[in-house]
Amino acid sequence: MLNTTVEDRRTESIARGVGVQTRIFADRAENSEIWDVEGNRYIDFASGIAVLNTGHRHPKVLEAVRAQLDRFTHTCHQVVPYENYVALAERLNAIVPGASEKKTIFVTTGAEAVENAVKIARAATGRNAVIAFSGGFHGRTFMGMAMTGKVFPYKAGFGVMPGDVYHAPFPIEMHGVSEQSSIDALERLFKADVDPGRVAAMVIEPVQGEGGFYVASKSFMLKLRDMCDQHGILLIIDEVQTGFARTGSMLAIEQYGIEPDLVTMAKSLAGGFPLAAVTGKASIMDAPSPGGLGGTYGGNPLGIAAAHAVLDVIAEEGLCERANLLGARLKQRLESLRGDVPEISDVRGPGFMNAVEFKDPSSGGPNPAFANRVREVALSKGLILLTCGIHANVIRFLSPITIQDEVFSEALDILEASIREASAV
């Protein structure tokens, strides 16, 4: 429901560049449910954009944060360090796949993590150029925008982006971009635009988040790993949205059988508290000089405490296995609608990182209006959904993995009814 009084105040006091997906105002939340200031209940299939894999206010996360509150809330780890920071780094070093020794740094946001990964890659290689992929999203800072492969609304109106950033097409077979054509484009890039000997890193999401939940295949990732090794380029895996059980494994990169050079993490790492990390091969991570990395709030004690609890919850509650079960149920329900809803173009995604893409039945082209109609109908029925994709014709599903079975069943019923209602218009 729209609270006009608060909405008017928001419009008058907050810059319009801070866009909002809904006009509801949260009052309280628990696990997979949100209640607004007027008492209306919503099922949350957004999770603050993939931040709440362990749900709103998980008791174990709250307990850990309360305990830390009673000890200290901030010292700045670069001034007075604390053991929990070290212990969490040890846990992430063990999580990131590969035989190489690992090291970690903590920052505050996903964009910071990606920017620091680029800094580390440049320091380690002595090179400057970076390659990213069309449709990728890596943050709203200037370097993050430069690497992001979507202009509106992220780059529009912000002037010249940082240089030496190049883009290759992300392989999406259903849109006519094969794996081989993407590899060929990279080879052309090396011949026409940038000497591979100047490229510090390639940055890629295993599953594109904002870009539409398109999945990089194992064969494509293996080709990228080989190409990077051939040219001395570092492979940075952006796990900001895919991490922490969302794709059915702790990190999506575990499913590819390759060792990344650097991994960026944020969002669900700390269950709703601001925390991000870069973990990578120790020899690479140690390239910057002391003082070259860090930040005042990087590795805040409350976020660190929350992250320890999140990792415990994922293990104790079997959230990787549960993600696979929930995702299978969701995709099965969506697939069952194909015969009745001609607008459905594709259903996809590993684990519980799923999406449905919509098309215009007559032209076969993207159908953003239909996706938005589904979102609006679902919201009117009490289900919060997010759209994504470069054409905004995809709905992504990011419910907490801890969602109660009965609430999940209720959400699936609302989703089906919303899609059918939108299609009947």
pLDDT digits (tens, 9 = 90+) for 291-307: 999 999 999 999 999 99
What are the distances in angstroms from CA 124 to CA 22, 45, 111, 299, 387?
43, 40, 20, 23, 38
More confident residue, 238 or 18: 238
293 lies in the same domain as 322: no
Q: What is the residue type of 136?
A: G
CA angle (376 as vertex; 16, 49 as ends), nearest 5: 60
What are the distances in angstroms from CA 96 to CA 14, 70, 254, 313?
39, 31, 8, 18
Instruction: Say if residue 183's pLDDT is above 70.
Output: yes
183 lies in the same domain as 263: yes
pLDDT at 150: 85
Instruction: Say if residue 329's pLDDT is above 80.
Output: yes
Q: Does residue 64 lie in a domain region?
A: no
| pLDDT per position as a tens digit, 112-156 | 999 999 999 999 999 999 999 999 999 999 999 999 998 888 888
The domain total for the chain is 2
Q: Does residue 167 lie in a domain region?
A: yes
Categorize the per-residue pLDDT at 2 as very low, low, confident or very high, splitting at 50, 70 and 90: low
pLDDT at 124: 98
Q: Does residue 63 lie in a domain region?
A: no
109 lies in the same domain as 249: yes
Nearest to 293 by CA among 43, 156, 89: 89
Categorize the per-residue pLDDT at 425 as very low, low, confident or very high, splitting at 50, 70 and 90: confident
Q: What is the mean predicted confidence (pLDDT) over 239-262?
A: 98
pLDDT at 353: 98
pLDDT at 19: 83
Q: What is the mean predicted confidence (pLDDT) over 342-358?
A: 98
What are the distances in angstroms from CA 188 to CA 184, 235, 300?
6, 19, 44
Q: Does residue 264 lie in a domain region?
A: yes
Q: Does residue 65 lie in a domain region?
A: no
322 lies in the same domain as 415: yes
CA–CA gap between residue 250 and residue 312 (Å, rounded): 12
CA–CA gap between residue 316 and residue 311 (Å, rounded): 9
pLDDT at 185: 97
H, E, C per residue of 111-138: HHHHHHHHHHHHHHHCCCEEEEECCCCC
242 lies in the same domain as 327: no
110 lies in the same domain as 27: no
| pLDDT per position as a tens digit, 80-112 | 999 999 999 999 999 999 999 999 999 999 999
Per residue in 326-346, is it b (16+ CB within 10 Å) or e — as a string?
Answer: bbebbbebbeebeeebebbbb
Q: Which residues contact 278 (CB under 8 A, 6 or more apart)?
A: 104, 105, 107, 113, 116, 117, 120, 262, 263, 264, 265, 285
190 lies in the same domain as 259: yes
pLDDT at 46: 97
Q: Of 290, 316, 342, which residue is a domain's last?
A: 316
Q: Of 277, 299, 316, which residue is a domain's last?
A: 316
Look at strands 276-281 and 262-265 and give their pairing.
antiparallel
333 lies in the same domain as 235: no
388 lies in the same domain as 372: yes
Q: What is the mean predicted confidence (pLDDT) over 168-180?
A: 95
CATH number for the domain including 280? Answer: 3.40.640.10
Categorize the per-residue pLDDT at 248 as very low, low, confident or very high, splitting at 50, 70 and 90: very high
Q: Does residue 67 lie in a domain region?
A: no
Categorize the per-residue pLDDT at 53 as very low, low, confident or very high, splitting at 50, 70 and 90: very high
97 lies in the same domain as 34: no
Instruction: Say if residue 347's pLDDT is above 70.
Output: yes
- pLDDT above 70 coverage of the chain, percent: 99
**Cβ atoms 22, 379 nearer than 8 A:** yes
- pLDDT above 90 coverage of the chain, percent: 92
| pLDDT per position as a tens digit, 202-246 | 999 999 999 999 999 999 999 999 999 999 999 999 999 999 999
285 lies in the same domain as 370: no
Q: Does residue 268 lie in a domain region?
A: yes
Q: What is the mean predicted confidence (pLDDT) over 419-423?
A: 97
pLDDT at 304: 98
CA–CA gap between residue 411 and residue 47 (Å, rounded): 14
Q: Tell me the pTM.
A: 0.96
CATH number for the domain including 53? Answer: 3.90.1150.10
Look at strands 262-265 and 234-238 and give their pairing.
parallel
Q: Does residue 88 lie in a domain region?
A: yes
Q: Of 292, 316, 340, which residue is a domain's last?
A: 316
386 lies in the same domain as 290: no
Q: What is the mean predicted confidence (pLDDT) over 70-77?
A: 97
- For 246, the domain range is 72-316
pLDDT at 3: 65
pLDDT at 20: 85
